[in-house]
Amino acid sequence: MDTYTKAKLNNGQCIPYLGLGVYQSPPGEQTQNAIIHALNSGYRHIDTAKLYDNEKDVGIAIRKSGIPREEIFITTKLWNDDHGYDQALQACKKSTESLGTYIDLYLIHFPVEKVRGDSWRALEKLYEDGLCKSIGVSNYTVRHLRELLDQANVTPTANQVEFSPYLFQKELWDFCRENNIQLQAYSPLTRGQKLQDPKLMAIAEKYNKSTAQILIKWCLQHEIVVLPKSINHSRIQQNAQVFDFEINQEDMAQLDNFNENFRTCWDPTGTP
């Protein structure tokens, strides 16, 4: 595995396992430079959203990089205000315009109650019309996925959720694998909050890696797409230097046991 290694989605499209997250990357040159640096460091996958207000910068950075568009995978997301059939079609069009290029993966950002079914039908239409290469969801629990699978004509290719050893959602991971839905880990670095945890530091020391690299590698060894965010050039590079070592089985099992249902972001569990 290296930065270019891809997972195959259930519709045959491929997605690089490592992606750069750009949530809270400020609009403008700082984000553009971070993305160009990431692309030069081997990243081929950028995860944005309408909410992040930097879709435009993602498009600019990719064009500036000179790397052929088809080598790069872009995900963006339908924001909560844009749910509903017509609104979702419109929102996708706007995101495509902001990016200045096509969308590889369009996700429903959050399973907003009552309207998410209509929005999914819009995403199916976008997919069937070739306006998005793949479609999927984010923050869906097993219950939300079951509801969707009961109604859908197109199976979601991916589910992007908060995931780390500190929030090891085993049941959701198993469900996604059984249904051929690619799991993606957001906030895989716990937004920095667990990077000083002594038991994680002990594992990192053993491999001569940073705690961030261990958290990223744990996802990769579980075949989960992982989306660390950074705007710092040396950390962007560090987060990609995870392909020259393997965490052994015993340490993987230990990391699996770190679960404490620790969330840094919103919790969709209670969403009807």
Tell me how far apart the alpha carbons of residues 88 and 244 are, in angstroms, rounded to a whole number.
42
Residue 204 sits in the site that holds ligand NAP (CB under 6 A): no
Which span sits near ligand NAP by CB under 6 A: 79-87, 184-192, 197-205, 248-256? 184-192
Q: Is 45 annotated as a binding residue?
A: no
184, 225 in Cβ contact below 8 A?
yes
- The residue within the footprint of ligand NAP, chosen from 7, 142, 195, 252 (CB under 6 A), is 195
Residue nearer to ligand NAP on the CB measure, 109 or 133: 109
91, 132 in Cβ contact below 8 A?
no
Residue 186 CB, shortest distance to ligand NAP, in Å, is: 3
Residue 175 sits in the site that holds ligand NAP (CB under 6 A): no
Residues whose CB falls within 8 Å of the CB of residue 95, separated by 6 or more in sequence, listed in order: 50, 55, 76, 103, 106
Scan residues 237-256 and list those touching ligand NAP (CB under 6 A): 238-239
- The residue within the footprint of ligand NAP, chosen from 134, 139, 157, 169 (CB under 6 A), is 139
Measured at CB, which residue is nearest to ligand NAP? 21
Q: Alpha-carbon Rg of the chain, whole angstroms?
A: 18
Tell me how far apart the alpha carbons of residues 168 and 162 are, in angstroms, rounded to a whole number.
9
Annotated binding-site residues read: 109
Which residues make up the interface to ligand NAP (CB under 6 A)? Answer: 21-23, 47, 109, 138-139, 160, 186-192, 195, 210, 212, 227-232, 235, 238-239, 265
